Structure 1
Amino acid sequence: MEKKEGEGDHKALVHVLVLPYPIHGHLNPMLQFAKRLASKGLKVSISPTLFMTKSMKIDAGPVSIEPISDGCDERGHEEIDDAQLYLEQLTTSGSQSLTKIIEKHQHSSNKIGCLVYDSFLPWALDVAQRFGLRGAAFFTQSCAVDAVYYYVHQGQLVFPVTGNSVSLPALPVLRVSELPSLVSRSESYPAVLDLLVSQFSNLDRVDWALFNTFDKLEEELVRWMEEIFRCKTIGPTVPSAYLDKSIEGDTNYGVTLHDQNADCMNWLNTRETGSVVYISFGSIAELVPEQMDELAWGLKGCNYYFLWVVRASEEDKLPNKFKEETQDKGLIVKWCPQLEVLAHHAIGCFVTHCGWNSTLEALSLGVPLVGVPQWTDQPTNAKYVEEVWGVGLRPSVDENGIVGRIEMEHCIREVMEGERGRDIKRNACKWKELTKEASSPGGSSHNNIEEFVTEISGG
């Protein structure tokens, strides 16, 4: 990848180390940001875990890879079947491993001057500051979700959450079901909730807080954040080819979990514009069998063409003979190049869990959404998708939290060809242009990244 002429002409070759939390959904945006920094003329390294470097293909382009150990080098977090114990192991081994990487470069021409660390890893700031490094916390979730966890940290939102809704500064009124699930069901994953709340434990000592969003997307929240932290919005962290096109060859994230078979693109090429429903629930979310069943028959009832990503571990949940009965309309795959798919003219809507990466991709590519959130940040993201940004619908759920086939069919039809769907498509196109604006010269995220590079370069 090459930087465009006139960009990245900074005084010194500063070395920035980027430390992601060790899961795919955090590596992608942080590696993308690392590429942005490298395109500005900085020396940049990224530190996935040793297990990640073994279990996935990572093409970091101009970014060097400096693996760290989480103490689980063979099977990752699966080696420790307890979230609390794994996080303790990650803190201990990660701190030691990070220290060694920084020490290795201490007396070289590439001495590390700044650590950009995942906000899930506040201990990394302590390590960095022992060496006199500047520190930037990188928040991979939306400002709205981060704000909820901040209010929990500050004691302004307490458990158990009572009443039907909560009203918090800079946020719309949120029904309890629209809060991040780790907050609305605080007893479900206490160790993970503690991790998310602890993001703010030492943020008063950080040099910068970087957020994977852009000013116009969460304007009120960004202004509120700026009053508390040295906040810079730097998103969306989508490959440059889909935004400002400033980084040559930057067409994908460079991280691959599966063998890449893009036969689905040939299939899409035979479909008309806006005629295909794309369904994917990311790399982690698991649908209960009943939800898989209802989704499947809802798709069949719509009678639209559909492309559905079903991971190998989920395939046995598909209804009996569903593939055979829908083979003239549907294509079910284990993996697909999601950015390419969303950018394809044939896609009419995206049925999604509303993970933040998928949401930003859809916003960046102007794709309307049907949001079926499962857990963590997704209920809050889905609220914004429908009620704040107006780019999608949320199907209603029954008393068991299941979206029924009739409701699923109704929402997909409405987005694809209904009256509300026309407004949703207009809004989706608007946000697509605004993401490009934020990432281009003069835009909020572009300017913030330029300022960040200038500041760490001593300008």
Structure 2
Amino acid sequence: MNLAHNKIHCLVIPFPTQGHINPMLQFSKRLQHKGIEITLVPTIYIFNKSMQELTSSITIEPISDGYDDVNGLFGAKSIETYLESHQKVGSQALIQLIEKLKNKGNPINCVIYDSFMPWILDVAKMFGLVSGVFFTMSCAVENIFYHIQLKELKLPVEGHDQVLLPGLLQPLVPSDLPSFVNDMGSYPPFLKMLVDQFSNIQEADWILCNTIYELEKHEVDWITKRLRLRTIGPTIPSMYVDKRLENDNSYGLSIYKPKTDVCMKWLSDCDDGSVVYVSFGSMAELKEEQMKEIACGLNKSNHNFLWVVRESEEPKIPKDFLDNIKREKGLIVTWCPQLDVLSHKAIGCFMTHCGWNSTLEALSMGVPMVAIPIWTDQCTNAKYVMDIWEMGIKAQANEKGVVEQEVVEHCIREVMEGERGKEIRKNATKWREVTKKAMDEGGSSDRNINEFIDKLVL
């Protein structure tokens, strides 16, 4: 498709965290490849910290959130304070950007924005622009928050009874629900933000979800009867999935510098399927006790492992474990190129917090998972990994919320060695092929992207 003559120009505005920016950047690449002009709009702080060296032909226009020089989101005294500033300052900055681009002869036709920022829709309406909401979480998780907004799921959820919602394929126990729902007192501002995603969503022209229809058919079918939702995932570089975008193997933003050469050289010396890859993402913080149990479980499993431990988390690793670790058996790094690692033939399973981006990447690479969810949507994702897609095991925590070393060892052995592991690996291969087909020409996600573009042109 070549739509350049139509002069379709989209602003793409992500929420200012790595896990939200990268999916929207990847989606932007897809639109650009099909002839749409894209301007990506991060916050000034994020741009200055992590995006100035970004290699992409996509235009970037940063705007203020009121915290340009003080660590952005994490520089605010509270999440409430930040969100208030982001809306107030960001609205005015966005208005000025839209007017600036119009005056330069490059007007905006469409605004695609992260669902965490519903106030952007009000700005889009001011200018009569087509609007697209972008969900960065699974459809199942979004359905849960939608039920809360509709007051069809009453909070707090009490007891141990199953929660059965029409928008979910299976009943969930409370511990399978997002942490903000299961434990309302944990992060009230985040719960409000997630429910408020739906405050004006009926007024949006499009709702785009970073998932695959075949993964969540029941969930997608339910919500599309109520909202104009289309699946457009997985939003990862093309060279790892369908290879339709030449040389598209860069994920984009990385807050941390990956130890690429160290990781890939070490993996090249390992046997096929012999390595347990362990990573809990860019934000999750583990208790010191949990780090110790994981270290001991990895050691007892007797499998090779590559463990990503951010610098801020390193002091939690037991010193005797670090002293005794043998280079040929295990490698600990502060960050790694996750897609390169997951696609490496040496990887046998992925011990993960089940953040949605990591989950989609494992699905796309066909890598079995050992799920140790920490917070937010990860508990629900882990439930689907184990019981719906059957390509992993959820490690059960004790009454203190800690997964003990014996459980860590058992789950690794079950996936890497056991009879159940054979079926898990078979399912992982199946989902890898499903994911690829969704992004292939004429696949479910590709069709939905084309439908969205066709409507923009009209």
Residue of structure 2 equivalent to 1:39: 33
Give the one of 119, 123, 130 matched to 1:134: 130
Residue of structure 1 equivalent to 2:443: 443
Q: CA deviation at 1:11?
A: 4.8
Deviation track 1:11-65 (CA, whole Å, cap 9, x = no partner) reads 5120000000011100010000011111011110111100001111352512100
Give the one of 113, 117, 123 matched to 1:121: 117
Look up the equivalent residue of 1:353 and give its one-letter code: H
CA distance in 2, matches of 1:59, 1:109: 26
What does 1:44-443 correspond to in 2, within 5 Å? 44-57=38-51, 59=54, 61-74=56-69, 75-164=71-160, 165-171=162-168, 172-262=170-260, 263-328=262-327, 329-443=329-443
- Asked if the contact 2:209–2:229 (Cα under 8 Å) also holds between the matched residues in 1, the reply is yes
CA distance in 1, matches of 2:232, 2:29: 13
Q: CA deviation at 1:114?
A: 0.2
CA distance in 1, matches of 2:107, 2:55: 20
Residue of structure 1 equivalent to 2:10: 16
CA distance in 2, matches of 1:450, 1:249: 22
Q: Which moved more, 1:437-446 or 1:319-328?
A: 319-328
Residue of structure 1 equivalent to 2:19: 25
Look up the equivalent residue of 1:105 and give its one-letter code: L
- Asked if the contact 2:259–2:334 (Cα under 8 Å) also holds between the matched residues in 1, the reply is no
Look up the equivalent residue of 1:147 and give its one-letter code: N
Q: CA deviation at 1:295?
A: 0.4
SS in 2 for 1:56: helix
Look up the equivalent residue of 1:109 and give its one-letter code: G
Q: How many aligned positions are there? A: 452
- Asked if the contact 2:180–2:191 (Cα under 8 Å) also holds between the matched residues in 1, the reply is yes
CA distance in 2, matches of 1:443, 1:435: 9
CA distance in 1, matches of 2:391, 2:166: 24
Residue of structure 2 equivalent to 1:3: none
Q: CA deviation at 1:447?
A: 0.5
- Asked if the contact 2:274–2:348 (Cα under 8 Å) also holds between the matched residues in 1, the reply is yes
SS in 1 for 2:197: helix
Deviation track 1:328-361 (CA, whole Å, cap 9, x = no partner) reads 4100000100000000000000000000000000
- Asked if the contact 1:38–1:62 (Cα under 8 Å) also holds between the matched residues in 2, the reply is no
CA distance in 2, matches of 1:160, 1:138: 27
**Unpaired runs of 5+ in structure 2?**
none
Q: CA deviation at 1:326?
A: 1.7
Q: Which moved more, 1:77-86 or 1:113-122?
A: 77-86
SS in 2 for 1:306: strand
Q: CA deviation at 1:9?
A: 4.3
Look up the equivalent residue of 1:122 and give its one-letter code: P
Q: 1:206 to 1:60 in 2, by over 3 A?
A: farther
- Asked if the contact 2:18–2:254 (Cα under 8 Å) also holds between the matched residues in 1, the reply is no
| TM-score (structure 1 length as normaliser) | 0.97
Q: CA deviation at 1:256?
A: 2.2
- Asked if the contact 2:241–2:364 (Cα under 8 Å) also holds between the matched residues in 1, the reply is yes
CA distance in 2, matches of 1:411, 1:443: 34
CA distance in 2, matches of 1:219, 1:331: 39
**Unpaired runs of 5+ in structure 1?**
1-6
SS in 2 for 1:163: coil
- Asked if the contact 1:125–1:135 (Cα under 8 Å) also holds between the matched residues in 2, the reply is yes
CA distance in 1, matches of 2:408, 2:178: 22
How well do the aligned residues superpose, as a CA RMSD in angstroms? 1.0
CA distance in 2, matches of 1:441, 1:404: 45
Q: CA deviation at 1:187?
A: 1.4
Deviation track 1:292-317 (CA, whole Å, cap 9, x = no partner) reads 00000000001111000000000000
CA distance in 1, matches of 2:102, 2:377: 38
CA distance in 2, matches of 1:183, 1:385: 20
- Asked if the contact 2:369–2:392 (Cα under 8 Å) also holds between the matched residues in 1, the reply is yes
Q: CA deviation at 1:446?
A: 0.3
- Asked if the contact 1:11–1:457 (Cα under 8 Å) also holds between the matched residues in 2, the reply is no
Q: 1:130 to 1:9 in 2, by over 3 A?
A: closer
Q: CA deviation at 1:221?
A: 0.8
Q: CA deviation at 1:457?
A: 1.5
Deviation track 1:133-188 (CA, whole Å, cap 9, x = no partner) reads 01000000000100000011000112111231211003110000000000011111
Deviation track 1:383-404 (CA, whole Å, cap 9, x = no partner) reads 0000000010011111101100
- Asked if the contact 2:259–2:333 (Cα under 8 Å) also holds between the matched residues in 1, the reply is no
